[in-house]
Structure 1
């Protein structure tokens, strides 16, 4: 029975609505048995404890206000992991978290003088602007680890997402990943077995919207076979082994190390990071635009503190997707424009205020 509410002088209609809210609150708690080969991962410290039960608490609250039904659901569950798969911590980026750059120690006397101020400005702009990379970036596309999706499968899907991402917008990449999961479900889903059981031409058809889809379909088949033959149905654990896979370059390898293995051995430099770093002069005082992202990566790693090697990619990618876009930069929305920190401000973006010519009589 729901608790009775006292009116305390409130109108009868108000008490009635409050009573309905109490009646609508539902709490469901159930325990599901796990097999002996499964573990439950602690969310507090990342440790793993052996358990035979998984407690799932689901709380649902509904309100009826002015004839409109509003429902909110909160679900808390333990993460079920495969006992045979090691799950290291991943290095994730939070676009809404602002780091105090002034407290980060310098690692080189060759660091650009403007980098801390620019980085701080970009952080604040990113915290107020949701970018495609925040919801459809490669690390968001693999299926969540569960009783049916092992950590190894999750890592494999992350590899596929990265291979598809080259020269492709996040929105298109997300569609291609969804198509692969859907159409491969009869043969085991987006897994090593599922890809190997599918003809290259069929994979090409599923991903035809991404850039260089035919070449990527070939690389996916070749790389998947290598993972089966040489890496025990998992992805490699070193940069050297990753870049040996067909279709995997340094940028993909470093991002894969960040998200899959929780290791920051380098910076993932894509077209946005490459363009912005050179535009701001972060790759050398007197150097012109460096010809390759790999050269930019080397320049950044020579002075950027290592604790920022993971965040700088999604930070600048999102900034390049929303404000400092390649064509038609939105300098009128950028807080760097009036500071003089950026030397490439497009002044044509600022509207000139036309002052009316005063009447001669007004001057007398």
Structure 2
């Protein structure tokens, strides 16, 4: 088949690589001048690797990722360093960490030259016909995949958009050059309306993120100073990580998710994939993983001998069922983690302390099982 993909993010590139390897003629359109990552680090759990393995991409992604996080003590802590939930090394589900830019490079390397076309404005057909208008010129395909992000133009054009919602908090992300101060411990630290996460990356680097409850669009002025004032008294190695990150390497984004999921992920011969279909807050660490699951599910369904319409129908049902639960769970997890009133923080921390480590591991394992089609 001839397949047009709009968006060269993680989901679009995984879909492109898997489909092209299966013999489909694939073209990827990216509106930015160069397809690449905007962001810092990310974690991928076992469900993402099950999906990648199913379409022949697990090896290349493992090659640019690290398994150090799974070999560390992890869980949730208080700013003092006291553990609320402590998961012993090696007891959780498979998890690997990597830098977004390196993941993008690895996926682009799997595509034939000329597959990804940057700096292109691509629009879908309102009626779901497999036509993409690229810089004003229509091109016909057998299938169109819209992987064009949270503020998807395709979702809006197909009449499936229900808006986006500000989650109530903003997040900074940074990468440091050395991991020597991690002391084999990682995970998240939760305060009142504030938290920090620490993730080891390949090549002795550390990815960290800091989250603050804030008004949408807030101007923080000197952002490194704000971070030091808010988190500088928290347990080691948090102050050292902040100090080791150059201000030019800081990224900050207000956190949004979809206000409601689209009523369907398919419109005629068009498919929504990744954040375009189910953008969720990052609080369960499943945004990239679900985009990968989407892509692998589509690739596998198109391998079968069933008619295209039947394959798209199964994609729609299975992916809406799977992602709805995680979209809701991510939103709830963010609310819990960002508790800010003294009573809410005390109740949250008491509940976390009462949770056996095994229960936390089992909950993570349930999330990290991919329902392969």
Normalising to structure 2: TM-score of the pair?
Answer: 0.23
More helix by proportion, 1 or 2?
Answer: 1
Higher relative contact order, structure no. (Cα contacts within 8 Å, ≥ 6 residues apart):
2
Larger Rg computed on CA atoms = 1
More strand by proportion, 1 or 2?
Answer: 2
Normalising to structure 1: TM-score of the pair?
Answer: 0.24
